[in-house]
Amino acid sequence: MTTANRTMLKTMAAIAAVATLMLMGANRIAMAQGAAPSAPAAPAPAMDEPGTRSFTVVAVEVDDAKIWLPSVIAVDQGDKVKLTLKNLVPGAVNQHGFTIPAYNVTEVVTRGEPKTVTFVADKAGVFPFSCQLHPAHIGGSLIVEPKK
Protein backbone atom coordinates (compact mmCIF):
# COMPACT_ATOMS: atom_id res chain seq x y z
CA MET A 1 0.00 0.00 0.00
CA THR A 2 1.36 3.42 -0.87
CA THR A 3 1.71 6.21 1.64
CA ALA A 4 -0.84 8.23 -0.31
CA ASN A 5 -3.37 5.38 -0.07
CA ARG A 6 -2.74 4.97 3.61
CA THR A 7 -3.26 8.70 4.21
CA MET A 8 -6.46 8.57 2.20
CA LEU A 9 -7.74 5.62 4.27
CA LYS A 10 -6.95 7.42 7.50
CA THR A 11 -8.81 10.50 6.30
CA MET A 12 -11.83 8.43 5.34
CA ALA A 13 -11.79 6.65 8.70
CA ALA A 14 -11.69 10.00 10.46
CA ILE A 15 -14.62 11.28 8.41
CA ALA A 16 -16.61 8.13 9.20
CA ALA A 17 -15.84 8.52 12.91
CA VAL A 18 -17.00 12.14 12.91
CA ALA A 19 -20.18 11.20 11.02
CA THR A 20 -20.90 8.45 13.56
CA LEU A 21 -20.43 10.87 16.45
CA MET A 22 -22.75 13.36 14.78
CA LEU A 23 -25.39 10.67 14.32
CA MET A 24 -25.06 9.59 17.94
CA GLY A 25 -25.45 13.19 19.01
CA ALA A 26 -28.61 13.58 16.95
CA ASN A 27 -30.01 10.40 18.52
CA ARG A 28 -29.31 11.69 21.98
CA ILE A 29 -31.14 14.94 21.21
CA ALA A 30 -34.12 13.03 19.87
CA MET A 31 -34.21 10.88 23.01
CA ALA A 32 -33.89 13.88 25.30
CA GLN A 33 -37.05 15.29 23.81
CA GLY A 34 -39.12 12.53 25.33
CA ALA A 35 -40.66 9.24 24.49
CA ALA A 36 -43.53 10.62 22.46
CA PRO A 37 -42.62 11.63 18.92
CA SER A 38 -46.37 11.87 18.32
CA ALA A 39 -46.64 14.86 20.65
CA PRO A 40 -45.77 17.90 18.56
CA ALA A 41 -47.16 20.23 21.23
CA ALA A 42 -44.81 18.97 23.94
CA PRO A 43 -41.57 20.91 24.11
CA ALA A 44 -38.35 19.35 25.33
CA PRO A 45 -38.13 18.89 29.07
CA ALA A 46 -36.56 21.88 30.74
CA MET A 47 -33.22 21.58 32.46
CA ASP A 48 -33.54 21.22 36.19
CA GLU A 49 -31.54 20.44 39.26
CA PRO A 50 -29.90 16.98 39.16
CA GLY A 51 -32.20 14.16 40.14
CA THR A 52 -35.32 15.97 38.92
CA ARG A 53 -37.05 14.61 35.84
CA SER A 54 -39.15 17.26 34.15
CA PHE A 55 -41.89 16.63 31.62
CA THR A 56 -44.44 18.80 29.92
CA VAL A 57 -47.70 16.91 29.59
CA VAL A 58 -50.35 18.40 27.35
CA ALA A 59 -54.03 17.71 26.89
CA VAL A 60 -54.85 17.87 23.19
CA GLU A 61 -57.79 17.06 21.00
CA VAL A 62 -57.39 14.83 17.96
CA ASP A 63 -60.64 14.52 16.05
CA ASP A 64 -63.06 13.95 18.93
CA ALA A 65 -60.54 12.37 21.29
CA LYS A 66 -59.08 14.28 24.21
CA ILE A 67 -55.67 12.89 25.05
CA TRP A 68 -52.94 13.57 27.58
CA LEU A 69 -49.56 13.38 25.81
CA PRO A 70 -47.05 11.91 26.13
CA SER A 71 -48.95 8.74 26.95
CA VAL A 72 -46.00 7.20 28.71
CA ILE A 73 -43.83 8.94 31.27
CA ALA A 74 -40.91 6.80 32.38
CA VAL A 75 -38.70 7.57 35.35
CA ASP A 76 -36.52 5.71 37.81
CA GLN A 77 -37.60 4.88 41.32
CA GLY A 78 -36.45 7.64 43.63
CA ASP A 79 -36.49 10.36 40.97
CA LYS A 80 -38.07 13.66 41.79
CA VAL A 81 -40.64 14.17 39.05
CA LYS A 82 -41.83 17.54 37.88
CA LEU A 83 -44.79 17.68 35.52
CA THR A 84 -45.89 20.84 33.79
CA LEU A 85 -49.51 20.29 32.80
CA LYS A 86 -50.98 22.24 29.92
CA ASN A 87 -54.52 22.08 28.68
CA LEU A 88 -54.51 22.82 24.95
CA VAL A 89 -57.97 21.41 24.22
CA PRO A 90 -60.07 23.97 22.37
CA GLY A 91 -63.79 24.44 22.86
CA ALA A 92 -66.32 25.53 25.45
CA VAL A 93 -65.00 23.24 28.20
CA ASN A 94 -61.83 24.96 29.37
CA GLN A 95 -60.88 22.61 32.21
CA HIS A 96 -59.50 19.12 32.20
CA GLY A 97 -58.28 17.00 35.02
CA PHE A 98 -55.02 15.18 35.54
CA THR A 99 -54.78 12.49 38.16
CA ILE A 100 -52.29 9.80 39.13
CA PRO A 101 -54.21 8.14 41.96
CA ALA A 102 -51.27 5.98 43.05
CA TYR A 103 -49.26 9.12 43.75
CA ASN A 104 -52.09 11.23 45.16
CA VAL A 105 -51.78 13.67 42.28
CA THR A 106 -55.07 15.32 41.30
CA GLU A 107 -55.22 18.62 39.47
CA VAL A 108 -57.72 20.61 37.46
CA VAL A 109 -55.97 22.35 34.57
CA THR A 110 -57.57 25.39 33.02
CA ARG A 111 -56.68 26.27 29.44
CA GLY A 112 -54.09 29.04 29.47
CA GLU A 113 -53.04 28.32 33.06
CA PRO A 114 -50.37 25.60 33.17
CA LYS A 115 -49.98 23.78 36.46
CA THR A 116 -46.86 22.26 37.93
CA VAL A 117 -46.87 19.19 40.11
CA THR A 118 -43.88 17.59 41.78
CA PHE A 119 -43.58 14.32 43.59
CA VAL A 120 -40.98 11.69 44.38
CA ALA A 121 -41.46 8.47 42.42
CA ASP A 122 -40.83 6.25 45.41
CA LYS A 123 -43.03 3.32 44.31
CA ALA A 124 -41.99 1.17 41.37
CA GLY A 125 -44.57 -0.02 38.90
CA VAL A 126 -46.92 1.10 36.15
CA PHE A 127 -49.48 3.67 37.29
CA PRO A 128 -52.29 5.00 35.14
CA PHE A 129 -52.98 8.71 34.77
CA SER A 130 -56.17 10.18 33.37
CA CYS A 131 -58.62 13.06 33.41
CA GLN A 132 -60.75 12.64 36.53
CA LEU A 133 -63.32 15.11 35.20
CA HIS A 134 -64.02 13.17 32.01
CA PRO A 135 -63.41 9.44 32.34
CA ALA A 136 -63.81 8.97 28.59
CA HIS A 137 -60.72 11.06 27.94
CA ILE A 138 -57.55 9.17 27.12
CA GLY A 139 -54.85 9.02 29.75
CA GLY A 140 -51.61 7.13 29.93
CA SER A 141 -49.10 5.48 32.20
CA LEU A 142 -46.41 6.58 34.58
CA ILE A 143 -43.73 3.90 34.54
CA VAL A 144 -41.40 3.87 37.52
CA GLU A 145 -38.46 1.56 36.93
CA PRO A 146 -37.44 -0.26 40.11
CA LYS A 147 -34.14 0.67 41.65
CA LYS A 148 -31.48 -1.96 40.98
Where on the chain is the footprint of Cu ion (CB under 5 A)? 96, 131, 133-134, 137
Q: Name which of 42 and 109 has its Cβ closer to Cu ion.
A: 109
Q: Is the dihedral of CA 60, 127, 116, 45 positive or negative?
A: negative
Alpha-carbon distance 145 to 147, whole Å?
6
CB of 107 to Cu ion, least distance (A): 12
Q: Name which of 11 and 110 has its Cβ closer to Cu ion.
A: 110
Q: Name which of 86 and 137 has its Cβ closer to Cu ion.
A: 137
CB of 96 to Cu ion, least distance (A): 3
* Burial category of 80 from C-beta neighbours within 10 Å (exposed 0-12, middle 13-18, buried 19 and up): middle
Residues 83 and 55 sit within 8 Å (Cβ to Cβ): yes
CB of 55 to Cu ion, least distance (A): 19
Q: Name which of 81 and 131 has its Cβ closer to Cu ion.
A: 131
CB of 58 to Cu ion, least distance (A): 12
